[in-house]
């Protein structure tokens, strides 16, 4: 129920942003057109955003014949989580990362880069896949796919408005300073919505992933290793589509300093500390 409420709030907030930009572009008529566009985008996001994200990353679907070890790992963990078997994808990228997508557990997909499979031990990779399956089990992957698609669309609409300016309901051009401010703040607002929701989701997925894999220490080790290695290897698809960064197990963007204040992921140190607190004292 809570995840359904989060989805509803997200969609309402994104729709409101669309309407605000539409109103700036064309007054009341522009606002109504933007509302219709938002409804269409929400419909598209629900049904097709997972396929769009997988295409962005050039993810290739694999099966037990083409990637036996990885496929069996996902199947075993899905059974442990009491989930339907998701589709399994591999991304040919050196940057270590992984994500889950899909509108519900019956239509889910798990994707991992070749980089993450190369640097992690089997134990650590099981923890990562457990994390992604926790996203599926919590039914919050819809939130990330919708927000990724909609945030990208808001940025494009904002850029369009920046170039062509805004008009009121009478067709008169609006104050250019107001137009510029709104066009700058709308994408920022979309990013803040993503950030607020995504950080809480990551903590819950870490906890759930540790329970599914039965090994919180392995997931903590995986996060530390990914964090260390990923800093020197850019994930080009994420740089081209930064709105999808929140879907990853680790923030793939190269921004530093102030940019980290707007990160969709909590700090690795805090995530690791919470996971290590789950490890029995005698097992550390």
Q: For this structure, is 132 an active site residue?
A: yes
23 by Cβ neighbours in 10 Å (0-12 / 13-18 / 19+) ranks as buried
* Other residues' Cβ atoms within 10 Å of the Cβ of residue 35: 16
d(CA 208, CA 275): 10
Q: What's the rounded Cα separation, in Å, for the pair 148 and 230? A: 21
Residue 250: closest CA among 277, 271, 236, 275: 271
Can you tell me whether residue 95 is helix, strand or coil?
coil
- Residue tagged active-site, from 132, 202, 211, 243: 132
Q: Which residues contact 155 (CB under 8 A, 6 or more apart)?
A: 187, 190, 243
Cα separation, 219 vs 209, in Å, equals 8
Angle subtended at Cα 76 by Cα 71 and Cα 82, rounded to the nearest 5 degrees: 125
Residue with tokens 């494009």: 156
Give, in degrees to the nearest 5, the angle at Cα 17 between 242 and 253: 10
Do the Cβ atoms of 164 and 121 come closer than 8 Å?
Answer: no
The whole-angstrom separation of Cα 2 and Cα 47 is 21
Task: Give the residue from 116, 111, 128, 120 showing the smallest Cα distance to 77.
Answer: 128
Please identify every residue annotated as catalytic: 132
């Amino acid at each position: 129920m809570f995840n359904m409420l989060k989805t509803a709030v997200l969609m309402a907030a994104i729709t409101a942003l669309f309407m605000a930009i539409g109103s700036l572009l064309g007054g009341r008529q522009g606002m109504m057109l933007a509302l219709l566009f938002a409804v269409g985008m929400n419909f598209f996001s629900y049904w097709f955003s997972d396929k769009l994200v997988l295409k962005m990353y050039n993810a290739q679907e694999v099966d037990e014949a083409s990637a036996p070890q990885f496929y069996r790992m996902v199947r075993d963990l899905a059974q442990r989580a009491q989930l339907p078997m998701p589709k399994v994808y591999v991304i040919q990228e050196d940057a270590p990362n992984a994500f889950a997508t899909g509108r519900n557990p019956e239509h889910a997909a798990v994707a991992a880069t070749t980089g993450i499979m190369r640097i992690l031990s089997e134990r650590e990779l099981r923890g990562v896949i457990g994390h992604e399956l926790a996203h599926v089990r919590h039914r919050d992957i819809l939130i990330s796919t919708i927000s990724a698609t909609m945030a990208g669309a808001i940025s494009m609409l904002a850029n369009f408005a920046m170039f062509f300016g805004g008009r009121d309901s009478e067709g008169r051009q609006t104050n250019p300073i107001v137009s510029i401010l709104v066009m700058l703040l709308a994408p920022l607002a979309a990013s803040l919505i993503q950030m607020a929701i995504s950080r809480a989701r990551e903590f819950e997925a870490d906890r759930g992933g540790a329970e599914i894999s039965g090994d919180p220490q392995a997931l903590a080790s995986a996060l530390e290793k990914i964090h260390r290695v990923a800093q020197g290897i850019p994930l080009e698809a994420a740089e081209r589509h930064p709105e999808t960064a929140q879907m990853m197990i680790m923030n793939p963007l190269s921004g530093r300093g102030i940019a980290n204040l707007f990160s969709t992921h909590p700090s690795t140190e805090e995530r690791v500390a919470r996971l290590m607190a789950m490890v029995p004292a005698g097992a550390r």
